[in-house]
Amino acid sequence: MGGCRGQVEGMRTETLGASVPTGKKRGSPKVPLLRQPFRLATLAERLKLVPRKAAGSLPAESMYGKLPWCAVVLLVLRAGPASAEAAGRLNLPPSTSVILDDIYSGRRDRALPEIHHLEEQAPENPLGYLLEAEANWWKIWWDSAEFKYAMTMARHHDKAPGDQHYLDLTTKAYNLAEKQLRQQNTGEMHLYAAMADGLAARLYGIRGESRAGARAGVRARENFLAALQLDPSLCDAYTGLGLYNYYVDTLSMMAKALRFLMGIPGGSKEEGIRQLHRGIAEGQISPALARYYLALNLLNYDQRYEEAIEVITPLAQEYPGNPIYQLMLGDLQARLARKEQAAVYYRAADAAAVDVPESECRSKARQLAHQSLESLGKK
């Protein structure tokens, strides 16, 4: 499996033994980070944490009515070179890894020109339009994010002018994949069709459009399963299946009854976690967001805070300039009653926000960091 591209370089801010990366050199050599299981001992060594103690848990954010499992996919993520023995794996364009690095570094301004060039070079390839939708998603995320219940997350999104372009991109990617499937039945095109539906379901879910999200989510699941049946090496499908299985199992009893009446397949939370870990370890394009959403779910639904820290820390190290990951680490430390360490990460998020290129996202990132610090009684 290909490793992560980019070795974090730069200064570290140290406060009370917690070390937070604050800079990354674009184009520097990379170490295998996102695909490695993160070791607790490594985390303790890097952060020099005090002995852990149990902390009170807060109830998970109620997502009933938004049908959160419809966030099924959120895939379009991280590329790595295929291994020599992995015949049949995705043949990704060379620019894919650079584009994904820019997306998850929070540099949509860099990613979009590269994506448009890819779309011009390969207009019949669904991947370019999936990447563009993924880049645009994080603008939607910043618009929707709020600090509530002691954590930052995107909970609700009102319809906005940019939504239609996002959905048009997912429709185009799906139609291109279907067109190629009519010519030749391949796991690759089933995977791209599933990604397209999953990306659409994510927006429907955050807008509270449960019926549309359910349709897209179920169809995505069918295509993920078809992709694996045709080509078991397409391990990115496990990320989508893992999210589906996890979210379906978190539904309330009433929602599960509605799911049964609608004929929506069930799922298992623990199976979903196992599949997400497989997506992290073996996926070509999904390790980064598999990490992000697994950590978010462990924080929000399961209160497994130490495990969530292990999962999200490699993202914060790989992309220290993206405030999203620093904010989550701060939330996790706060849940464990480690206020000083939480403040370190919130301040790192505030510092990183200064370099966010889009003014609206920059303002929201700083606002969230300041609200997080205020919740600790700090400035």
Architecture of domain 12-375: Alpha Horseshoe (1.25)
Radius of gyration of the chain, Cα coordinates, nearest whole angstrom: 19
Per-residue pLDDT of 226-264, as tens digits, reads 999 999 999 999 999 999 999 887 875 545 555 555 567
Range in 82-96, 145-159, 362-376 the model is least confident about: 82-96
Question: Is pLDDT at 129 greater than 60 in this prediction?
Answer: yes
C-alpha count within 13 angstroms, C-beta hemisphere, residue 39:
4
- Specify whether the CB–CB gap between 329 and 116 falls below 8 A: no
DSSP string, 68-126: GGGG---------PPPTT-TT-----TTHHHHHHHHHTT-HHHHHHHHHHHHHH-TT-H
For the CA atoms of 354, 352, 153, 141, the dihedral, rounded to the nearest 10 degrees, stands at 60
| First-residue to last-residue Cα distance in the chain | 43
The larger pLDDT score, comparing residue 361 to residue 71, is at 361
| Token pair belonging to 362 | 């920059």
Burial of 346 (0-12, 13-18, 19+ CB in 10 A): buried
Question: Is pLDDT at 269 greater than 70 in this prediction?
Answer: yes
Question: Is pLDDT at 70 greater than 70 in this prediction?
Answer: no
The larger pLDDT score, comparing residue 150 to residue 29, is at 150
- Specify whether the CB–CB gap between 224 and 241 falls below 8 A: yes
Which amino acid appears at position 8 of this protein?
Answer: V
Maximum Cα interatomic distance, the chain, rounded to a whole number of Å:
61
CA 69 to chain CA mean position, Å: 14
Q: What pLDDT score does 214 carry?
A: 84
Q: What is the pTM of this model?
A: 0.78
- Specify whether the CB–CB gap between 148 and 60 falls below 8 A: no
Which amino acid appears at position 42 of this protein?
Answer: T
Range in 69-83, 126-140, 317-331 the model is least confident about: 69-83
Q: Which residues contact 144 (CB under 8 A, 6 or more apart)?
A: 154, 155, 156, 157, 206
| Token pair belonging to 83 | 């291994």
Confidence class of residue 44 from pLDDT cuts 50, 70 and 90?
A: very low
Q: What pLDDT score does 36 carry?
A: 53
Question: Is pLDDT at 25 greater than 60 in this prediction?
Answer: no
CA 272 to CA 13: how far, in whole Å? 35
Task: List the beta bridge partners of residue 15.
Answer: 18
Task: List the beta bridge partners of residue 13.
Answer: 20
3-class SS of residue 154: strand
Which contacts (CB < 8 Å, 24+ apart) does range 161-169 have?
A: 162/136, 163/203, 163/207, 165/136, 166/133, 166/136, 166/137, 166/140, 166/199, 166/203, 167/200, 167/203, 169/129, 169/130, 169/132, 169/133, 169/136, 169/199
CA 379 to CA 376: how far, in whole Å? 9
Confidence class of residue 286 from pLDDT cuts 50, 70 and 90?
A: confident
Most confident range, picked from 10-14, 70-74, 169-173: 169-173
Confidence class of residue 89 from pLDDT cuts 50, 70 and 90?
A: confident
Question: Is pLDDT at 268 greater than 60 in this prediction?
Answer: yes
Per-residue pLDDT of 302-337, as tens digits, reads 999 999 999 999 999 999 999 999 999 999 999 999
Q: What pLDDT score does 88 carry?
A: 52
